[in-house]
Structures are given as structure tokens and as C-alpha cells.
Structure 1
């Protein structure tokens, strides 16, 4: 996760930047979902059965804290399909763990919205295109209107829900309009996710955009983030699954604010780029633990072995290699002068294309000339 807007503001104003204190876990507590999204890494559907017992979840929560986890993103499937979701979230709060809700929004109503606002520290609602683009990508007609209505319900009750958008060939026609929509709705955060090849995202590899288009969109996001900052517009832009975006920001600073390049560079090195298996992890509805939601390999099972024992296992060779900084990687990453900023990007994408976890991220849009030392 790359907090683009926050880094611009904190660097130019010499403030402490938001940093992740401890690890963040994306917990897929269910694989049930009412939608059939084309990019879904868990291949969730309405036909899935609930497999994860409440007791197992409650027993695991204290182990998260022991392992240094301070943030949990409730994900799925659709997490609001769990009838015990508020009990689970309260148990997280009791253990001083912040809770984020990642939802398609279709189950947010005037009856439960206030409880959602009071329970979760952040609410992210997926909007993957305008109107029919969203409906097609998410596999259900009318889902766009229901998701937009969810944002409005949350806002009318005093909360604020951010928009989550994934860039693919099927959604890119709405890319620029997503920012217009965010401004019209006055949301406080836009999270733009780059596609990772996993689940249905792997099956639909053909829907990924070109490197040239990706670079164009990242350039737009950076310029838009500067525009929001300079015009005091309270909208955060955050990008996900493409740590090379940080290098693009650094290059923009070299042009726009050369006196702040070194301070920014130090912040970016402290941020550390891709943190799968270190400050980011994933737990699923079958108990499996992975370094990130898209990762092709499992490091343990929290239903068979306490989560803290899995996450803090110093004998796990995969975790040891993932936690090296910077990682020892192949391809163009090997001699990249920015490796200590992006940390090589997605290992999941590297594996999906090459079969080698330690190859270069195939989605890196930077040229050899741009990254040579």
C-alpha cells in the first residue's frame, strides 16, 4: 500500500509520515459472495459454504496481537455476509487491533450503517467503473447503484467511505471518471489497485493493461495528488500492488520540488516497498496463512498451529527470504538503483509469469534506462 497523498503532504510540510506500526493482516473470513468479480483472487461465489467457526476466529485474535498485528482488513468473499461480523470486530477492538472493512457495499443499509460506522476504523467500498462497466466487471446488474447508495448512506449518517478501484482493460474506460465521482461524492480516500495475477485475476491475465498505459495512469494519479494537496482538497490517493509508483513520485519531486528529493527518498526507504511476509500477511477461511492474498505458497495454518507461531517462525526459509531487505532478486531488479525503495514489487506476479518467486515483477513499467545505477 502506497500512501501517495500522505507522502506528498508530510514531506513538503516536514511532518511525520503515516507509518505502519506493526503488521497488517487481510483476513478472508468467508468465501461467500453475492457477486462474481472478474479479478477475484479467492474465486468467491454465492455457492460457497461458511467454513470458519466463530470460536476459531475468537481464539486466534489474541495470537494476532502477540505476533505484532495491529491492523486487520475484514475481507472475503463479502465479509458482511457473516452474521457475527460485529462480534468479531469488537473482539479485535478489545485486543487493540484496528479494523478496516473491505466490502462491495451491497449489504449496507440504513439499518446497519450506523453500527458499521461505529465498529470499523475505515470502510472501503469497491467501485470498479461507472454504471454498466462496474456491473459487468462485478457480475451483477444493478450492483453499481447499490454500491453508490451505500456510500451515500454512510455519509448521511456522518461516516465516510472510501472508494476502491482496480485498473484492468475492462475498467480503464472509467479510470479518469472515478476521480470525478470521488470529488462529486466528496469521499476522503481513493484506493487504486493494480491487478495481481491470482485466482480469477490469473485466469483473466489478458485483462491486464499495458505497461505504457499503467505508467500513464500512475503519472495522472501523482499529478492529481499534487493538485488535491495544493488546492487543499481533502482526498487521499493510495495505490496498491505496484510499489514502483513510489519511484514515479520520486521522479516527479526531482522536477517539481528538487529541494525535497532527499527527505522524500529517506521516507521511501523507511517505507520499504513491498512488505509481503513482513508487514503484510493474509489469512483465509480454511486457516491458511500466506505472505499476501495473492501469494502462490502457504506458510502455515492458524487452525493447526497458533498464528503467532506461524508468523514469527524464524526457521521458515520463505519468510526469512521475504524479510531480507532489500531482497535478492533476479532480472532487471538485480541492478536496479531503486531496489531499496520498491523492494522488487510483487512476488506473486513474478511467480505467475516465470514460476520463480525471485524473478523481476513482470508489471514493472520502468525502463532499464530509468533504473540503472
Structure 2
């Protein structure tokens, strides 16, 4: 009760019938992973025709009345596809483009990531694109995920444009509190194992087949879960000194993959001056 349930899927098996079943099951959002246009996506997925099947699953979900969007993980291999993918969504009235910053997990590695300069330039472009879509009457919204620094950067940009909008953004950032892994975000895999987020499969908290989710989540005994909910107490380096740490805190799993769970966020492109440590 009171939990919003989303499905993260490759979308290839979502027929019209399956889409209706998902709606009846109570899913609030269907996020289909598409990581580029046809050639880029199919090469990444290693299956010819994967893009067409995924996009059909996306349209079937939308036609069933489900809130839908694509989950696009940006890498150095698909960065240039982003403008065309967003235009394709807008033309098909898909309501959400969700850009995921790369988290080294599974086969993904830091070597696949874009540079900090490219990341900052990308957020600038997405900011302008979202304004353009709104002005042109499109309903497609643009979100970014797994790099809380984006929110701080947008807030700083808004401060230069509109103080009222900037204050609204700041209030939202206070509400969100940065990376919500292990706090407002949980992952339950196909075996019932509970993880702090969908990329943290090498760490299992408990299993919902052995204990109720409410008991696992609301009365945590797991030390990692407890610390993630108090993360600002443990931050070190730039993140520990940052004036926005209560609103951001970095993405802890990415920091862990870089060698230190509580250390610097490798994907933070904000300058020392912007975060108040210069």
C-alpha cells in the first residue's frame, strides 16, 4: 500500500495482451530500455530487430493507458543518437525520456562512459531541449537519473534566469534529497531478493519470500541500508565538503565502483567554485 510500482524492461515481449495485463496488475509506469536508434541499439543489444520490438512494446504500453517512457543509458557509443531518439518520442507522444548516467554494473565499465565535459554539455543541451519541447506543444518530459549533480546544476542555471523557478527547484531538491537508493528506492529481483537499487545486485539485503517487504524496509537491520539513509554523515572528499551535500550526496554505488563508497562521485562535473569549496 502506498508503493509506486514501475517495470524496467527491454519491452520486446510486451504485446497488446501483455500490456493490458500490466495495467490490470497495477503498474504505474513502464520504462523500456532503448539505447539508441535502430543500428546503435541492436548492436548494443546484440540482437537484430531489438529496437523495433522494444518500440512496439513501448507503443503497446502507451495504447493500454500506461504511463510510459524510455530508459536511455548514455555512453560514448550512443551519445550522438540522443537528439533523434527524443524527437522520435515526441512525434509518437511518448511522455517521458529518461536519461540514465552510466553505472558500472553488469558488463558496463567506466571506459564506456562519456567525459565530464561531454556530460556537462549534454545537460546544457537537454535543458534547452526541454524548453523547446514545451514551447512547441509537445508533452514529452526529460528526466535524468543516477547523477544527483544534474539537479544542482539545473538549479544554478535557473538562478541566472528566474529566481522564482530556482526556488521551486530548490524545494524539490530538498524533498528528493539526492540519491534515494536504500531509502525511497528499492529493487526486488525475480528471485525475491531485495537490493538498494536495480544496479546493486551484488548486494542482497533480504528476501521477500522469507520476510515481508515492510519488515525489511521499515525496520532495517542491515547496516548498509541504515548508513545509506544517513549518507551525509559518512561522505568524504569533495562530496563531504560540498555545500549541496544534503541535496545531492553523489551516487553512492558509482563511488563504490570507483573504490570508495563514501568518496568522490566520479561523474560530478560541477566546479569547486559551484559547490563552494574553492
Q: What is the distance in 2 between the residues matched to 1:154 and 1:278?
A: 28
- The answer to whether 1:369 aligns with 2:276 is no
Q: Could you tell me which runs of 5 or more consecutive residues in structure 2 were left unpaired when the two chains were aligned.
A: none
- The answer to whether the 8 A contact 1:219-1:248 is kept is no
- The answer to whether the 8 A contact 2:102-2:113 is kept is yes
SS at 2:190 equivalent? coil
- The answer to whether 1:286 aligns with 2:191 is yes
Task: Count the aligned residue pairs.
Answer: 275
- The answer to whether 1:275 aligns with 2:176 is no
The one of 57, 70, 77 aligned to 2:3: 70
Deviations 1:112-142 (A, max 9, x none): 4444445433222222100110001111011
SS at 2:235 equivalent? coil
- The answer to whether the 8 A contact 1:151-1:160 is kept is no
- The answer to whether 1:131 aligns with 2:38 is yes
- The answer to whether 1:191 aligns with 2:98 is yes
- The answer to whether 1:266 aligns with 2:162 is no
- The answer to whether the 8 A contact 2:28-2:67 is kept is no
Backbone CA RMSD of aligned residues: 2.2
Equivalent in the alignment of 1:218 = 123
Q: What is the distance in 2 between the residues matched to 1:322 and 1:147?
A: 34
Q: Could you tell me which runs of 5 or more consecutive residues in structure 1 were left unpaired when the two chains were aligned.
A: 1-64, 73-99
Q: What is the distance in 2 between the residues matched to 1:331 and 1:167?
A: 26
Q: Which has the higher contact order (CA 8 A, sep 6+)?
A: 1
Deviations 1:67-118 (A, max 9, x none): xx6122xxxxxxxxxxxxxxxxxxxxxxxxxxx2322221122444444445
- The answer to whether the 8 A contact 2:28-2:66 is kept is no
Q: What is the distance in 2 between the residues matched to 1:132 and 1:192?
A: 19
Q: What is the distance in 2 between the residues matched to 1:113 and 1:281?
A: 23
TM-score (norm 2): 0.89
Shift of 1:231: 3.8
Residues 1:106 and 1:228: Cα distance change in structure 2 (over 3 Å): same
SS at 2:72 equivalent? strand
Q: What is the distance in 2 between the residues matched to 1:349 and 1:313?
A: 26
SS at 1:350 equivalent? helix
Shift of 1:312: 2.5
The one of 29, 37, 46 aligned to 1:122: 29
- The answer to whether the 8 A contact 2:178-2:247 is kept is yes
- The answer to whether 1:311 aligns with 2:217 is yes
Equivalent in the alignment of 2:240 = 334
Deviations 1:259-281 (A, max 9, x none): 43233212211221111111111
